[in-house]
Structure 1
Amino acid sequence: MSKWFAPITLEAETAKLVPLSLDHLADLQKACADGELYKLWYTGIASPDKMEAEIDRRLGLQADGMMLPFSVMDKRTGKVIGQTTFLNLDPTNRRAEIGATWYARSVQRSPINTECKLLMLGHAFDEIGVNVVEFRTHHLNHQSRRAIERLGARLDGILRNHMILPNGTTRDTAVYSVLPHEWPAVKANLQWQLEKPRD
């Protein structure tokens, strides 16, 4: 097993996960403007004018050992088209969460998210040796919940009034997880999704 989460590049056929950098600012600003993702009330994607501060925030949390943020690159174009993160890192209990994930609207129905999840889950279970990987989302974010459920993650429960969002509403958080003994089946499911013909 490799050491606890440290910056690394992970690569699949279409997606490449690279350590987050301010060098990615312009691409990330364009990506979040694609579909105006920052206007979604139930999630917290930075607007183009706030993206530099968001990158700085994530890099600060990385320096404190609390997260490992990635930029998601589309290898077909060489452009950064989103972000994803290992967060709430808990080395004592060997727990990690995959989250703070978003992609430009134009790539949301591509293989990229499935490839990213396969890369990240494989790194967490096969290289790091975690005891659990969590996924969390707003209980009303049905698109995100369906995507998490398609991975094969199981619903642990709903944390009611878990967070106060920037618009002042409270978020009930749906918590999902994958355990080590479930990983082989989840992996096979993700690989099957990538191999099956697309509509």
Structure 2
Amino acid sequence: MEYSRDVILENNRVRLRPLESSDFEYLKRIAFEDEIWRYMTTLAPRNNVELAAYVAQSIRARVDKQRYPFVIIDRETGRIAGCTSYGNIVLADRRLEIGWTWLGTEFQRTGINRAAKHLLLHYAFGELDCERVELKTDARNQKSREAMVRMGATEEGTLRSHMALPNGQRRDTVYYSILRPEWDELRQTVFHEFDSRG
């Protein structure tokens, strides 16, 4: 993964481009709803200062080659709908994780998340030549777990007391994956409306 390269991905529903500091102005319109952050390991931003710090930290993670954050742009409205990232990138093992995803509540359950996942999976298995893409979520996040299964990911197991939460509690984390041999079928079924090969 070339962290210095600006990766721009697009299908008929969404456009993904690298997160920039100027995106703060658009993100603050959608980021201050507690429900968005309920199961995240990141403290929910409560004001402009905390959101600006979140954006800066995400951009710093790219500079430090820890994570590659994108904004998700709804092509129907031209508005930023949320953020997502590649992380835990180990190209020597040909694997990475898709995560750190959040959407403004008005963009949830609209197909935008699935469209964004299509682009990230397509790039991971195509350009980055991955054999495995991982996803994970809080075991209590039933909506996220169902979404991962609907997109064809396989549940692999639960890591107990895996991550610390901002409130001091610990969460159990459920891991999912999609493997390269599964991708061709998924792009023609689950993701067919976004895939030009459809």
TM-score (ref. length: structure 1): 0.89
2:162 and 2:138 mapped to 1: Cα distance?
10
**2:93 counterpart SS class:** coil
In 2, the alpha carbon distance for the partners of 1:79 and 1:156 equals: 35
Q: Which residue in the other structure is 2:135 paired with? A: 135
In the TM superposition, 1:80-119 aligns within 5 A as 80-119=80-119
TM-score normalized by the length of structure 2? 0.89
Bigger helix share:
1
CA separation of 1:151/1:38 partners in 2, compared to 1, >3 Å: closer, same or farther?
closer
Deviation of 1:102 (Å): 0.8
Aligned 8 A contact 2:159 2:173 in 1: yes
Count of residues paired in the alignment = 191
Task: Spell out structure 1 runs of 4+ moving beyond 6 A.
Answer: none
1:25 alignment partner in structure 2: 24
Kindly report the root-mean-square deviation, in angstroms, between the aligned alpha carbons of the 2 structures.
1.9
CA spacing shift, 1:28–1:166, aligned 2, 3 Å: same
Equivalent-residue separation in structure 1 for 2:135 and 2:74 (angstroms)? 23
Uncovered stretches (5+) of structure 1, i.e. residues with no partner:
none
Partner of 1:16: 15
Gaps of 5+ in 2: none
Deviation at 1:36, TM superposition (A): 3.5
163 and 177 in structure 1: CA distance in 2 versus 1, 3 angstrom threshold? same
What residue number does 1:57 align with?
A: 57
Report the Cα offset of residue 127 of structure 1.
Answer: 1.2
Pair 1:165-2:181 in alignment: no
Q: Which amino acid aligns with 1:52?
A: A
Amino acid at match of 2:144: S
% identical equivalent positions: 32
In 2, Cα distance between equivalents of 1:170 and 1:111: 31
Cα deviations by residue, 1:99-128 (Å, 9 ceiling, x for unpaired):
010111111121211110111100000111
**1:59-97 deviation per Cα after TM superposition (whole angstroms, max 9, x unaligned):** 111112121100111122222110000011112212110
Checking the alignment, whether the CA contact within 8 Å between 1:14 and 1:74 is kept in structure 2 is: yes
Matched residue type, 1:169: Q
Alpha-carbon distance change, 73 to 180 in structure 1, aligned in 2, over 3 angstroms = same
